[in-house]
Amino acid sequence: MPNTSPLVEVMMKAARKGARSLSRDFGEVENLQVSKKGPADFVTAADKMAEEKIFESLRIDRPGYQYLMEERGAVDGSDKTHRFIIDPLDGTLNFMRGNPHFAISIAVEREGVLYAGVIYDLMRDEMFYAETGRGAFLVDSRGVDKRLRINQRTDFTAAVIATGTPWIGKPGHTQFLKELHKVMANCAGIRRNGSAALDLAWFAAGRVDGFWERGLKPWDIAAGIVIAREARGIVQELGTGNDNPLESGNIVCANEGLMPTLLKHLDQA
């Protein structure tokens, strides 16, 4: 893979180690130990094991880095300029139901700015990756490494837009239904797939034309932001236009031609 740096290679290796753990548990969801963290928000033994494998791998290859992880939380390190942001299983509910749409997401910040991202769809064996200034790429199941470019469609009525729906216990149902009504009445289709990381990766690959969602966590979107931007997508905070949606978790992305229309429909809602 000529496009990968040593840092991205380290992240890919860690993702594949985590994937081996998840693969063993997938398809045997009835045997998983499951504890409930909150309304419709579950953590499985598989999440924790995959995160541990990823953490162990990265800690060996990049000692001193700081971490922000979904399960373990923040881990300090001696290197204050680098931080990994890790979601060991984005799409946990899909995983638990035997739905093969989930991914491992690993990003790295350099001096507080998102720098590189890896999203591994282990069931399709698709490795999405990007590094700031070097472009976005996909290694497919055949081992072919190809550059990613977002779809340049400009007709919103022909666009397919991905989103995520608020679940039980999460605020914003009424607002989301207004947004959904406005967007779906003006586009070719809406997709709710259950993994924000893959929504962003698929946007970068041109499989969907845009994406919006509110209330996401940094580990849900950090890697996807880098990949989407390096594929020449516009990614911003929904509602403010700020270029850093990590803090609020409110995100919207599209290409330059579709973004004004998508924002108009969301604003009108």
Render pLDDT for 179-214 as a digit per residue (tens, 0 to 9). 999 999 999 999 999 999 999 999 999 999 999 999
Q: Same domain, yes or no, for 182 and 111?
A: no
1 in a structural domain: no
Structural domain harbouring 130: 6-147
Q: Same domain, yes or no, for 34 and 110?
A: yes
Q: Same domain, yes or no, for 98 and 126?
A: yes
Could you tell me the CATH number of the domain that includes residue 111?
3.30.540.10
Across residues 9-22, what is the average pLDDT? 97
Distance CA(253)–CA(172), nearest Å, equals: 19
Could you tell me the CATH number of the domain that includes residue 200?
3.40.190.80
> Distance of CA 4 to CAs 55, 138, 175, 209, Å?
20, 11, 41, 26
- Does residue 64 have a pLDDT over 70? yes
Domain end, chosen from 98, 118, 147, is at 147
Q: Same domain, yes or no, for 127 and 19?
A: yes
Distance CA(204)–CA(226), nearest Å, equals: 10
Residue 4 confidence (pLDDT): 87
Q: Same domain, yes or no, for 37 and 137?
A: yes
> Distance of CA 79 to CAs 59, 70, 101, 167, Å?
12, 20, 34, 38
- Does residue 68 have a pLDDT over 90? yes
Q: Same domain, yes or no, for 55 and 174?
A: no
93 in a structural domain: yes
Q: Same domain, yes or no, for 10 and 132?
A: yes
- Classified as helix, coil or strand, 24 is helix
Q: Same domain, yes or no, for 76 and 198?
A: no
Residue 39 confidence (pLDDT): 56
Tens of pLDDT along 114-123?
999 999 999 9
Residue 112 confidence (pLDDT): 95
Q: Which residue has the tokens 């924000």?
A: 196
Across residues 102-123, what is the average pLDDT? 98
Q: Same domain, yes or no, for 180 and 163?
A: yes
- Number of independent structural domains in the chain: 2
Across residues 51-56, what is the average pLDDT? 98
Q: What contacts 206, CB < 8 A, 6 or more positions away?
A: 148, 149, 150, 151
